[in-house]
DNA sequence: ATGTCAAGAAAATCTTGA
């Protein structure tokens, strides 16, 4: 079973790239982030013609996440990260697919660090910690997938010294990511490739992709049950080089399931 | 600091967020 996560950076403007990627790679599950479109603008017809069913939560202009699934039922859907009914940002979806609990998340960027946006990021992380712990009580494989907006370590940035004061790399942010690992979640890509240079995002500025000036900020975190099923993982790097593409590339894992 | 994208407001460029 192949599960992918892809920050599409606007599903309307990236639809051709999304459909091209789905046709080429045929993931069983695709977690999408940054739809940047309200619910009613979700291109369900095109997604279904590509062979997928979907659940999504949209939002005008910003955020928005979706779960695309081919060939399996989507059950027990949770829309929105539990814990704050006042939070109106569409950043979180959960569902069970083929017996696996899959969370699609778009963590807040948080810049500029120090300020209300950074506070929101840390508060969101705290709520996510609570939910991630709850999920460990389920007797299911759990996969946390998405754009975490976290550079976990120096090895995950082309020039880490440039990011020391950025919300993606601040000590508070890295500590919050480390806390998830301490609860019992494993960073799948780093687990299988301890020493590799792996990037999932390249800035549109200054020809970053062609210089491979990237960051690793899209992640798969697996509980022990999911980790025992893990077969392989990677990044569809070439998609970042396509015309009218997102600034992120799709990331994928395969599970023996 | 640099300078790329796309959407929205509003009416051609400017602002915003990433």
pLDDT given at position A149: 96
pLDDT given at position A187: 98
Distance from residue A82's CA to nucleotide B13's C1', rounded to whole Å: 41
Nucleotides of B under 7 A from a protein CB: 1-8, 17-18
CATH number at residue A62: 3.60.10.10
Range of the domain at A7: 2-255
A210 pLDDT band (50/70/90 cuts)? Answer: very high
Checking each nucleotide's C1' against the CA of A11, the nearest proves to be: B6
Residue A22 CB neighbours (<10 A): 21
* The A230-235 sheet, strands edge to edge: A53-57, A65-69, A29-33, A2-7, A251-255, A230-235
Question: Which residues are registered as beta bridge partners of A255?
Answer: A230
For strand B, is any atom closer than 7 Å to the CB of A40?
Answer: no
Q: How far apart are CA A125 and CA A150, in angstroms?
A: 11
Distance from residue A114's CA to nucleotide B2's C1', rounded to whole Å: 22
% of chain A beyond a pLDDT of 90: 95
For strand B, is any atom closer than 7 Å to the CB of A82?
Answer: no
A122 pLDDT band (50/70/90 cuts)? Answer: very high
Q: Kindly tell me if the per-residue pLDDT of A206 is higher than 90.
A: no
A251 pLDDT band (50/70/90 cuts)? Answer: very high
* Mean pLDDT, residues A208-218: 95
The pLDDT mean for chain A works out to 96
pLDDT given at position A114: 87
For strand B, is any atom closer than 7 Å to the CB of A75?
Answer: no
pLDDT given at position A20: 96
pLDDT given at position A84: 93
Question: What is the count of structural domains for chain A?
Answer: 1
């Amino acid at each position: 079973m192949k599960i992918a996560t892809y920050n599409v950076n606007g599903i309307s403007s990236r639809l051709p790239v999304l459909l091209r990627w789905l046709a080429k790679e045929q993931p069983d599950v695709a977690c999408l982030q940054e739809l940047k479109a309200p619910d009613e603008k979700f291109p369900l017809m095109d997604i279904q013609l590509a062979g997928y069913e979907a659940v999504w939560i949209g939002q005008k202009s910003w955020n928005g996440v979706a779960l695309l699934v081919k060939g399996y039922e989507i059950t027990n859907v949770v829309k929105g990260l539990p814990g704050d009914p006042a939070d109106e940002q569409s950043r979180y979806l959960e569902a069970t697919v083929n017996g696996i609990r899959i969370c699609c998340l778009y963590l807040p960027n948080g810049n500029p660090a120090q300020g209300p946006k950074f506070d929101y990021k840390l508060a969101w992380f705290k709520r996510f910690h609570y939910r991630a712990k709850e999920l460990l009580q389920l007797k299911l494989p759990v996969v946390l997938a998405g754009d975490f907006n976290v550079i976990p370590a120096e090895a995950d940035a082309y020039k880490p010294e440039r990011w020391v004061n950025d919300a993606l790399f601040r000590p508070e942010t890295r500590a919050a990511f480390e806390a998830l690992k301490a609860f019992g979640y494993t960073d799948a890509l780093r687990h299988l490739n301890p020493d590799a240079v792996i990037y999932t995002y390249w800035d549109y500025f200054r020809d970053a992709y062609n210089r491979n000036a990237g960051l690793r900020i899209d992640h798969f975190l697996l509980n022990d049950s999911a980790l025992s099923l893990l077969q392989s993982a990677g990044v569809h790097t070439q998609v970042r080089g396509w015309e009218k593409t997102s600034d992120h590339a799709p990331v994928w894992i395969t599970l023996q399931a």
